[in-house]
């Protein structure tokens, strides 16, 4: 859990600028606890309370707890806004990833067509090289044959 410079938990929002959020929330909780303790001590000293005193004490408790409850509600609102921002960011990343993968798929398809064309060109080149070699061999054979015929004519 995040903590402020005094080691207090950062849990509630502080309405006073420059103050510690967690320190403010902790102070409110301590004040409320002290108020409840005073009320309990007063009830114990008097040996009981009447219905009117209970009503006054309940109103006092409600007034004391109200700032803490409001601070918690504000913190909840802040957290909801933060979660909405995170949700939007996740949707954006998901959309970007989907678009990127679509681009990769298109690129791979394009690459596949290129490899196919390269294979066709290599097959054509191979055929042309084979025909050229065969033609060269035939030409060489014809030259050798012509030389042999010439040699036979000269030797007779």
Domain chopping of the chain, boundaries: 21-117
More confident residue, 152 or 34: 34
* Ordered DSSP codes for 25-71: HHHHHHHHHHHHHHHHHHHHHHTS--HHHHHHHHHHHHHHHHHHHHH
For 59-78, write each residue's pLDDT tens digit. Answer: 777 778 888 888 888 887 88
Q: Which of 84, 105, 103 is nearest to 95 (CA)?
A: 103
Higher pLDDT, 88 or 155: 88
Per the CB < 8 A criterion, the answer to whether 21 and 11 are in contact is yes
Is the pTM higher than 0.75? no
């Amino acid at each position: 859990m995040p903590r402020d410079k005094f080691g207090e938990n950062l849990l509630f929002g502080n309405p006073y600028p420059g103050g510690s959020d967690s320190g403010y929330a902790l102070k409110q909780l301590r004040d409320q606890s002290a108020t409840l303790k005073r009320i309990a001590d007063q009830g114990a000293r008097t040996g009981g309370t009447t219905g009117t005193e209970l009503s006054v004490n309940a109103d006092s408790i409600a007034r004391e707890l109200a700032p803490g409850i409001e601070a918690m509600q504000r913190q909840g609102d802040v957290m909801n806004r933060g979660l909405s921002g995170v949700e939007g960011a996740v949707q954006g990343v998901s959309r970007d990833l989907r678009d990127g993968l679509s681009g990769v798929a298109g690129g791979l398809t394009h690459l596949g067509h290129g490899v196919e064309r390269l294979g066709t060109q290599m097959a054509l080149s191979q055929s042309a090289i084979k025909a050229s070699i065969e033609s060269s061999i035939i030409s060489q054979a014809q030259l050798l044959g012509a030389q042999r015929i010439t040699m036979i004519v000269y030797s007779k």
